[in-house]
Structure 1
Amino acid sequence: MTTSVCDPEQLQRLYSAHHGWLRLWLRRQLGCSEQAADLAQDTFLRILARERELNLLREPRAYLATIARGLLINHWRRQAIERAYLEALARQPEAVAGSPQEQAEVVETLLRVDAMLARLPQKVRTAFLLSQLDGLGYACIAERLGVSERMVKKYMAQAMLHCLTCCAE
């Protein structure tokens, strides 16, 4: 039987003892106190969702930093995708831009596609992107990756199956 994580006293002690340190650590990483405060709160929200005895933590700061580091990576990835989308949008005619709501939906979709592609092995992802984004044929992709054309076909089948599986979820 799993023990509930939400022992309010344990969480309060952890929060009181380490929240200030975590905010400062995040502020150094981000250069922004508001974003640091948000990610510090998100870190403690993640802890609430996990099934772990907080009183068993030997290194609470290391535990908090690990969770916060994952949130930072997600934050930076989101910023990079959003920035790339906005740069591409700026090169388009104004009518293409869409409403702020539509732009937010496009960014969310791009984040889901990025997450889906990140779960593919490197060569499979590269083959898929060279085919879909650059329009390269299998022979050219095989030459670039240093593999056989047959291997590229396997990579593409793996990528397509992965895409279908993710869409079905």
Structure 2
Amino acid sequence: MSSRDSSITHLYAQHQGWLQGWLRRRLNDSSDAADLAQDTFLRVLQRRQNLSLEEPRAYLRTIARGLMIDLWRRRDIERAWLETLQQLPEQQAPSPEVGVLMIETLVAIDSLLDELPPAVREAFLLAQLEGLSCPRIAERLGVSLSTVERYIAKALRHCYRLAFEQEP
């Protein structure tokens, strides 16, 4: 066993129970806590860095906190999707398989938008969702037209990179 594997094994043995308890107290759900604790250690395994941690619990807490936020965001998206489905006539409701794909797509879009700076995200959403022109967006945000054009270009480059330049 390599020293890295030994470090991860030791980290797991020493802190898995504590992490799961910490998550359980925050989530009020032992099943979600167990899943997120495992996901936290999976993230540690996926990182290719050396594990010489001075504060292992702070490190694990940081990863787990991000995973909790992802879980809550996903559940918010799922809730919004279900509310949208309730508005549709039954014959127009998509199949469960399509629903799962829609949720996955919405989660990916949410993640993509979250990576953008707030002003860039807002300009992009005003253009895409409200159909506002760049001059109207500039007026609404109180910035110059060239700034809005830069924001939109940045958001579009970001979308393009994620869609076409990442490896599968």
Q: Tell me if both proteins adopt one fold, taking TM over 0.5 as the criterion.
A: yes
Structure 2: give runs of 5+ residues left out of the alignment: none
Residues in 2 aligned to 1:98 and 1:106: alpha-carbon distance in whole angstroms = 10
Letter in 2 for 1:49: Q
The aligned residue for residue 20 of structure 1 is: 17
Letter in 1 for 2:148: V
CA distance 1:158–1:52, change in 2 (3 Å): closer
Cα deviation, residue 4, structure 1: 6.3
The aligned residue for residue 157 of structure 1 is: 153
Q: How does 1:1-169 map to 2 (within 5 A)?
A: 5-7=4-6, 10-54=7-51, 56-169=52-165
Please tell me whether the aligned partners of residues 4 and 51 of structure 1 are also in contact (alpha carbons under 8 angstroms).
no
Residues in 1 aligned to 2:53 and 2:81: alpha-carbon distance in whole angstroms = 41
TM-score (norm 2): 0.87
Number of corresponding residues:
164
Choose between structure 1 and 2 for higher RCO, CA contacts under 8 A separated by at least 6 residues: 1
Show CA shifts across 1:95-137 (max 9, x none). Answer: 3321222111111111111121122221111011011112222
Structure 1: give runs of 5+ residues left out of the alignment: none
Residues in 2 aligned to 1:154 and 1:60: alpha-carbon distance in whole angstroms = 41
SS at match of 1:6: helix
Structure 1 vs Structure 2: percent identity of aligned residues? 54
Show CA shifts across 1:13-42 (max 9, x none). Answer: 322221111111101111111000000111
CA distance 1:157–1:13, change in 2 (3 Å): closer
Runs of 4+ in 1 over 3 A off after TM superposition: none
CA distance 1:16–1:93, change in 2 (3 Å): same
RMSD: 1.8
